[in-house]
Amino acid sequence: MSRLALMLAVLLLGPLAARGAVSGHDLLTGKPVSVAPGKSGTVVAFLSAKCPCSNSHVALLKDLEKQYPEFAFVAIHSNTDEPLSLATPYFHAAALPFPVLQDEREKLADEYRAYKTPHVYILTPDGKMAYKGGATDSADASHASKFYLRDALADLRAGRAVKVSETRTLGCVIKR
């Protein structure tokens, strides 16, 4: 990554995208965790403990994590109106096979400019944003006809540029 591109990434997307890793405290363990990019990149998903739109996409994210092991996956919980007493049991029950970071003071949501849940991003190993937007074209994953996140991962796996690199995010607004 050129010095100018790195500076732009930091200014536009924050320091997380510039280094391609995501760090924070795991909501489920309370321990610090740093998710290094997978061989092909990192999938970052902003999720909610009470949003039905977010909840409807959990199974899809779990399936994609299995289908695309060359990508590291991480969830981020940012909503200020969802106390840990609500979020922790929800995410334990969701049994995501990847870390769920608690976003202190909505720092990560602000850096990524995440607006709704689920809002997903794919970072390449060098920190470039390959995709941002909704996981699907529906607020309810069971009614989706387009699977944007899956298609973007398939493009990257095949060595192609992502055909649709930005889409509209449908879901519940992240409360700050």
Domains present along the chain, CATH in parentheses:
3-173 (3.40.30.10)
Q: How far apart are CA 15 and CA 20, in angstroms?
A: 9
pTM of the model: 0.87
Phi, psi of 165 (to 5 degrees): -95, -10
Dig out the tokens for 170 from the structure: 């449908």
For Cα atoms 94, 80, 86, give the angle at the middle one, nearest 5 degrees.
35
CB 45 within 8 A of CB 75: yes
Is a pLDDT exceeding 80 seen at residue 2? no
Is a pLDDT exceeding 60 seen at residue 6? no
End-to-end CA distance of the chain: give it in Å, rounded: 32
118: preceding bond cis by omega (within 30 degrees):
yes
The DSSP element (H or E) to which 3 belongs, if any, is helix 3-19
Q: For residue 35, what pLDDT is reported? A: 87
Is a pLDDT exceeding 80 seen at residue 47? yes
Is a pLDDT exceeding 50 seen at residue 58? yes
Give the three-state DSSP class for 94: helix
